[in-house]
Amino acid sequence: MELLLQVTAETSHFPVTAISVLIVGFIAVISIGSLTWYNSNRVVGWKNEVDGEPTKYSQEEKREKSANYDRNIISAETAARMEREGQGFKNVPESEQSVDTTGGYTVSREGLVNNYAVEPEMYVDEPGDLKEKQEAEKKERAKELKDINSKDGDKGVGVV
């Protein structure tokens, strides 16, 4: 019985001792790690800075850097398109002599140009019809939002 009491008394300090050792070890690891990091050759400032000045990229370099979804990986199709299109890569085609039909153009990150249809006013019955229609739709939408978000006690918020 005496042996059992002695073992129990000795083991009762085990959790406290183990936790103390773990905490001291954790503090030591953090201290050594921070000193190692501090003394390492780390980059100070932004990655693109040289002598404290940010690196200036030309439009072409910016287009090439943003021509992909994965960092430092450019697909074969995108690389071929960059080479084929040259300065026109990721640029919307523009023509000074024609009607502005570039309103629907979008360019993806990979340089694909999409031309979504935008109806020019020359196809409308009278000039200004589209603007009047858009303004009327905006007013109608504002009224609808006001009705939806009204705080009538019996309806609550929103349309049911």
pLDDT attached to residue 56: 66
Averaged pLDDT for residues 94-121: 68
Mean pLDDT of the chain: 71
Averaged pLDDT for residues 90-106: 66
Question: Is the pLDDT reported for residue 83 higher than 80?
Answer: yes
pLDDT, tens digit, for every residue of 9-50? 565 666 777 788 889 898 999 988 887 877 776 555 555 555
Lowest mean pLDDT of 30-44, 112-126, 142-156, name the range: 112-126
| Three-state secondary structure of the chain | CHHHHHHHHHHCCHHHHHHHHHHHHHHHHHHHHHHHHHHCCCCCCCCCEECCEECCCCHHHHHHHCCCCCCCCCCHHHHHHHHHHHHHCCCCCCCCCCCCCHHHEEECCCCCEEECCCCCHHHCCCCCHHHHHHHHHHHHHHHHHHHHCCCCCCCCCCCC
